[in-house]
Structure 1
Amino acid sequence: MARGSFPILFITATRIGDAVLSSGLIRKLAEEVPGARFTIVAGPPAAPLFVDTPGLDEVIVFEKSPRGGHWLRLWRHVRRRRWGLVVDLRGSAISSFLSRQKRAVYRRSNGLPVHKVIEAARVLGLEDDPPAPFLYTSARTEALADELTAGEGPILTLAPSANWVGKTWPAERFALLAMTLLGQRGPMHGGRLMVLGSPQDAQAAQSLRHVLPKDRFIDLVGKVDLLTAYAALKRARLFVGNDSGLMHLAAAAGAPTLGLFGPSDERLYAPWGPATAVVRGPRTFDQIQMVDPGHQQALCHMMDLSVDVVAAAAFQLHAETESAHA
């Protein structure tokens, strides 16, 4: 251990959303632990989120392999270092086999459903004041986001994809929503439309390409990395999207965020922050669970969520956040 440094091994999630929701712990440690140096372990989708973390020594991409071989591989990678602190949000036993001063390991709770931000905060005993999700971005990333979003008018951002068809609101309804919000009677009349997603989401975003003239359409689907998307979301006036990693990125970026929910539990996964809201159709999460308890059916559970209901929630969130964006 270098003099004056405090090496921290931080093991986080594979999924983007889960990694974002626990990201505030890194900021807390960076700000309050003198000499903090981070080695961050994350699955391939989430690993790029942490490349601009201050005091970063390494991001280890944690890829699963048969029979748990990924844990042995990780142990071999980190075992030679004496750690000041090991934070393990996966609840594994690896910290027991490492040289460390302290450890903080996730333990599953059997009580009432609790939001994932609070659940992560419990690992460090911070559940009474849970750190909000936060990601670090470089000046270069921020400059690129400025360039990509340059123009006149507020930005409505939509993310029409999700990791499963069951929680994906139909793309054509996103198009109707955009026309409502950006139309002559909408609260964002004269604004622009930004669309985010991975390269695999190009088809879902296709129906949005003709909502506005080309000079008012910002197409970032499959064209930017996660941190650039996060920086671009800082410039958004309003975000609407399915329960997804992008929804959590938007909330962490401080964009007023409306999350669309169906077969996922907003008690655990609602966007986190003061300028956030959720909306669902007439069925509760528990009612949807009764229809598809294992989430094994190729069935969209978002069909009963109407454009009118989402638009009303978007209008309300826009109005509630008007003073902060005046």
Structure 2
Amino acid sequence: MKNILFITATRIGDAVLSTGILAHLATRYPDCRITVACGEVPAPLFTALPGVVRVIPLRKFAGVGHWLWLWLRCVLSRWFMVVDLRGTGLAWFLPTWRRCIFRGKRRTTTLHRLQEIAHVLQIEEPPLPRLEVSPETKDVAQSLVPGGEFVLGIGPTTNWIGKQWPAENFVTLITRLTGADGLFPGARVAVFGAENEHAAATPVLDSVPQERRLDLMGRVDLPTAYACLERCDFYIGNDSGLMHMAAAAGLPTLGLFGPSQDRHYAPTGPRAAVVRTRKSYDALVGAPGFNHRTTGTLMVGLSVDAVIAAAAELWERCRDGDGVS
């Protein structure tokens, strides 16, 4: 029995991107027992993954206190392999046969994050993110997102206002896409996000007729949100963890980008695409007066027309490529 310690991200998006590497390990070492150490928020996404026997949610302490806390929980185990995607160096202080440690600075490379972490295990073709949930979770999702009608998933919020496309743009987008002459006429609309983001999404929710509205904002945990995404037919959202979850679910996913780098964080897979502001990342964050903490949305340069055109192109590609109907 091979024990593997897998240290991954605190943010949802990075954590989701790492699940393909985790699946690779579970396939390569079918008798392995994987312990995952990650942030408290994404931790529930790992519990049902093949090979995972334990998930350690990392709590933030002052200084390096959280790494000492993790070391105390791992040092008495004999590890076959320690995979450290955080580049902490903790692996050097644990008994193990093999250490795979992330090295390098993301901002100095043109590689996608998926390629960067794949290099830790010397994998040439990065495995795509892969999430799984329990049958019970799927049953809950079925009750929340019943089948039978087309469902458009929308992610109108994000963890930083600078990356957030204006709510009024989402309202116009949904109205046009689901109108009689739209790309998805009469579609139900499932709105995803955290509970503390509900107020920001209220204009979007209010714009959808009640009989077609599926309000999932803060009402489900992450595994259930993923299972609900699996039941959607198309997803459009800001650059966020939900965007990466949607892409991992395999549905056509369109990510909206501006002051974040799509070359590093575009949604992955053959059914994913991005559309970004006319201005580049460097132009947006390098503008005079830019302040990450106080600057408002930098997404106004992305028009509704551009998003609709990108959605139509992605939908046509998916229909032609894999028989979506």
TM-score by length of 2: 0.95
Structure 1 position 215, deviation (Å): 2.3
| Count of residue pairs brought into register by the alignment | 321
Q: What is the letter of the counterpart of residue 146 of structure 1?
A: Q
Q: What is the letter of the counterpart of residue 312 of structure 1?
A: A
Q: What is the letter of the counterpart of residue 324 of structure 2?
A: H
Mean Cα deviation higher: 201-210 or 8-17: 201-210
User: In the alignment, which residue of structure 1 is the partner of 2:215?
Assistant: 219
- Structure 1: which 5+ runs fail to align? none
Structure 1 position 311, deviation (Å): 1.3
Structure 1 position 151, deviation (Å): 4.2
Paired with 2:88 and 2:109, the residues of 1 have a C-alpha distance of: 23
User: In the alignment, which residue of structure 1 is the partner of 2:324?
Assistant: 325
Paired with 1:308 and 1:318, the residues of 2 have a C-alpha distance of: 15
Structure 1 position 160, deviation (Å): 0.5
Q: What is the letter of the counterpart of residue 89 of structure 2?
A: A
Contact 2:163 2:238 in 1 (8 A): yes
Mean Cα deviation higher: 280-289 or 103-112: 103-112
Paired with 2:99 and 2:109, the residues of 1 have a C-alpha distance of: 25
Q: Of the candidates 207, 230, 237, which is equivalent to residue 226 of structure 2?
A: 230
Q: Of the candidates 153, 157, 168, which is equivalent to residue 153 of structure 2?
A: 157
Structure 1 residue matching 2:206: 3-state secondary structure: coil
Q: What is the letter of the counterpart of residue 311 of structure 2?
A: A
Paired with 2:271 and 2:30, the residues of 1 have a C-alpha distance of: 32
Matches within 5 A, 1:163-182: 163-182=159-178
Structure 2 residue matching 1:230: 3-state secondary structure: helix
Matches within 5 A, 1:1-326: 5-109=1-105, 112-126=109-123, 128-291=124-287, 295-323=292-320, 324-326=323-325
Paired with 1:33 and 1:215, the residues of 2 have a C-alpha distance of: 48
Structure 1 residue matching 2:175: 3-state secondary structure: helix
Paired with 2:75 and 2:178, the residues of 1 have a C-alpha distance of: 55
Contact 1:152 1:191 in 2 (8 A): no
Structure 2 residue matching 1:207: 3-state secondary structure: helix
- Structure 2: which 5+ runs fail to align? none
Structure 1 residue matching 2:117: 3-state secondary structure: helix
Contact 1:237 1:325 in 2 (8 A): no
Structure 2 residue matching 1:322: 3-state secondary structure: helix
Paired with 1:90 and 1:293, the residues of 2 have a C-alpha distance of: 28
Mean Cα deviation higher: 107-116 or 171-180: 107-116
Distance 1:125 1:71, change over 3 A: same
Q: What is the letter of the counterpart of residue 43 of structure 1?
A: G
Structure 1 position 294, deviation (Å): 6.0
**CA deviation string 1:151-195 (max 9, x = no partner):** 432110101001111010011111110111100111210211000
Structure 1 position 109, deviation (Å): 4.8
TM-score by length of 1: 0.95
Contact 1:22 1:116 in 2 (8 A): no
Q: What is the letter of the counterpart of residue 158 of structure 1?
A: I
Contact 1:257 1:277 in 2 (8 A): yes
Structure 1 position 224, deviation (Å): 0.7
Percent of aligned pairs with the same amino acid: 44
Structure 1 position 286, deviation (Å): 1.6
